[in-house]
Amino acid sequence: MNAPTALNRDLRADFPGLVTVEGKPWHYLDTAATAQKPRAVIEAMTRALGEDYATVHRGVYSRSADMTMAYEAARRRVAALIGGKEDELVFTRGATEAINLVAKTWGRANLKAGDRILLSQLEHHSNIVPWQMLAQEVGADIDVVPLTDDHQIDLDAAEAMLTEQHKIVALAHVSNVLGSVLDAKRAADMAHKVGAKLLLDGCQAVAHMPVDVAALTCDFYVFSAHKLYGPTGIGALWARADILADMPAWEGGGAMIDRVTFEGTTYGSGVQRFEAGTPAITEAITFAAAVDYVSEVGLGAMHEAEAKLVERLRRELTAMNDVTVYGPANSAGIVSFTIDDIHPHDLGTILDEANVAIRAGHHCAQPLMDYLGVPATARASFGLYSTQEDVTALLDGIARTRKIFGKGI
């Protein structure tokens, strides 16, 4: 999975979206929001919607049987990416739905008034709001772990905060704003010591580094396909098999049932209990195609290449007296920064004129922005197709923006 040989070819050529309508290079530095799609993924979607298309789990005709096999094979390949098994992985609409699923099933069944939930200061809204809703419903309380000086989750503080009242610890494996990487194994050990479960938001992790849920010893792991070079509208919840077996169903409909009568319904077993209705068939198959693609390239090689881009960008930004760079030096593929007196939205607009695309805003992490004392940051995020030329274009665009605003001249 981690062989670096595929990086020796021009990976940008695999991505038709990295060229403007005028045929010029598009310097796409917003992969943390959503990744561009390689031709292998696009072609897989075309086949699944075309000559291969049929329903799954229902038809007795051969194409339906073939599609069912492809759908379940996709589940197996996606689970294997993170060291899991197919009977531990539920397809969802994305990481957001996966977290909501855990909160509304496991959470409702296991939390009561007086229990506590532990989050961190850097969480995405998707890993805050579902827990707030659950806490309000059952009467639980939420504690928030602060950050270290270099903007990592302070696990020493977390360890001091944890009590036997804590039932769930939900943390980002990699911050979508800061790129900081959690010591997930330590977090799991700490949570389990007080009898709590650990949920990891892996959206930014799976696209940048190898993940092994067994080695991490987490209880839940969630991620989305579109950040992993796959389609939108689908993601995954991995949960330990024993936990998944005890979780109640959460949406009712076809596929998740055993027997339905007007007197009552019995539910199916296994992962399909959480996949009511016709599933995202083509999206699941295309999700697996994206997994195959990144596995060919090698996540270890990808992380190494992205680290070089991060190191250069952080070094050159830090040398500018009017620039503040956030996050640790070894951030995973993400660099967030602000320039004094230049709003990130203005920077993003001017960069767009030079075919450089970054993210500007609060990045669905408003509590983190409050913590940092800024309304927004500019964020450059790298993917497997990112190059030193992209960094150069960004730095040139920043220089132009500073001149427009009367800086650096």
Residue 203 falls in the annotated catalytic set: no
Number of H helices, E strands in the chain: 14, 15
Selected catalytic residue, list 1, 276, 364, 399: 364
Q: Give the pairing type, strands 257-261 and 116-120.
A: unpaired
What is the rounded distance in angstroms from the CA atom of residue 144 to the CA atom of residue 159? 12
Residues 125 and 263: their CA atoms lie apart, in Å, by 40
Q: Are strands 89-92 and 377-381 parallel, antiparallel or unpaired?
A: unpaired
Token readout for 395 is 């730095």
- Distance from C-alpha of 230 to C-alpha of 19, rounded to nearest angstrom: 19
Classify residue 7 by its DSSP letter.
Answer: G
CA distances from 92 to 54, 98, 142 (A): 20, 6, 25
Give SS3 for 339. strand
Determine the Cα–Cα distance for residues 220 and 239; give it in Å rounded to an integer: 5
Q: Is residue 109 within 8 Å of 140, Cβ to Cβ?
A: no
C-alpha–C-alpha distance, residues 364 and 126, integer Å: 8
Is the separation of the CB atoms in 118 and 163 below 8 Å?
no
Evaluate whether 221 touches 96 at the Cβ level (below 8 Å): no
d(CA 139, CA 116) in angstroms, rounded, equals: 9
3-class secondary-structure state, position 191: helix
Q: Please report the beta strands in 112-165, taking only residues with DSSP state E, as ranges in sequence order.
A: 116-120, 141-145
Q: How far is CA 297 from the centre of its chain?
A: 19
Q: Which two tokens stand for residue 131?
A: 């827990």
Active site residues: 364
